[in-house]
Amino acid sequence: MTPSEQPPEETFCLTCGPDVALERRGGAVLHCPRCGTQQPVPDFPLFVVTGASGAGKTTITGPLRRALPGCEVFDTDTILQVAALGWDTWRNTWLRLAHDIALNGRVTVLCGSLVPSQMEALPARKLVGPIRFCTLDCPDTVLAGRLRRRPFWRGTSTEDAITRHQRFAAWLRANIQPCYDTSQLTPAETAERIATWISRSMDDAHAAPPSAN
């Protein structure tokens, strides 16, 4: 592979080569449509704490790590430089990381502005189990105040940007549940509620739940 070439995005059959993508037809197994090779994959859920800019995703990351010692919790901006290769490449990288973390027997929690439709068509979607979302939210006036206090270089403090993020927050509020109001809960309280939701979700999936303090 030359320095200018990109590695294949798809999960391919190591016997047949990069032109043959593995398929997930149900269950926690990938199949090669050409030679029939099977590859088991972990079926842990992937949890996403989403929200508009200013809703509190970065703030919640630390308390959530303390509340969920059995999970790996990430702020998705940690590898934001990967987005220079394209937003889908950035999202796909997170799915691949969640898969590798699941191979170690641990569950991944991502804190970032993601929505279900962005994840389902990604090449690495087949590598993880169900993806479950919750939303961080706050009233529009609170969100606007938080965004106006941000440094100008972040690009979220203009009135146009504030309106755009308020619209996104409204969409999330209407379409993704559970929803936690960070204007009414402290970061620690929010983390505890999210940890309880994740533990219950793991119980529903008949998996060993991660420990919550």
Q: What is the mean pLDDT of residues 38-51?
A: 90
For residue 147, what pLDDT is reported?
A: 95
Q: Are 140 and 146 in contact (CB under 8 A)?
A: no
Give residue limits of the domains in the chain.
8-40, 46-203
For residue 183, what pLDDT is reported?
A: 97
6 has pLDDT over 80: no
> What is the CATH code for 46-203?
3.40.50.300
Q: How confident is the model at residue 206 (pLDDT cuts 50, 70, 90)?
A: low
Take residue 193 and report the two structure tokens written for it: 């509620």
208 has pLDDT over 70: no
Question: How many separate helices (H) and strands (E) can be counted in the chain?
Answer: 6, 10
The kind and range of the H/E element at 73 are strand 71-75
212 has pLDDT over 80: no
| Residue pLDDT, tens place only, 84-110 | 999 999 999 999 999 999 999 999 999
More confident residue, 205 or 21: 21
- Distance separating alpha carbons of residues 122 and 124, to the nearest angstrom: 6
Residues β-bridged to residue 12: 21
Q: Are 44 and 34 in contact (CB under 8 A)?
A: no
For residue 9, what pLDDT is reported?
A: 56
Q: How confident is the model at residue 211 (pLDDT cuts 50, 70, 90)?
A: very low
For residue 38, what pLDDT is reported?
A: 83
Q: Are 12 and 19 in contact (CB under 8 A)?
A: yes
CA 188 to chain centre: 20
Q: How confident is the model at residue 205 (pLDDT cuts 50, 70, 90)?
A: low
| Residue pLDDT, tens place only, 171-184 | 999 999 999 999 99
Q: Write the DSSP string, 123-158.
A: GGGGGS--EEEEEEE--HHHHHHHHHTS-GGGS--S
4 has pLDDT over 60: no
Q: Are 176 and 47 in contact (CB under 8 A)?
A: no
User: To the nearest 10°, the Cα dihedral for 18, 25, 112, 202?
Assistant: -140
- Distance separating alpha carbons of residues 24 and 38, to the nearest angstrom: 10
What DSSP character marks residue 80? G
Q: How confident is the model at residue 8 (pLDDT cuts 50, 70, 90)?
A: low
- Distance separating alpha carbons of residues 62 and 159, to the nearest angstrom: 29
Take residue 205 and report the two structure tokens written for it: 């999936």
> In the chain, pLDDT over 70 holds for what percent of residues?
91
More confident residue, 210 or 132: 132
pTM, rounded to two decimals: 0.85
Backbone angles phi and psi of 55, in degrees to 5? -75, -20
Provide the angle, in degrees to the nearest 10, between the axes of the packed helices 57-67 and 187-204: 60
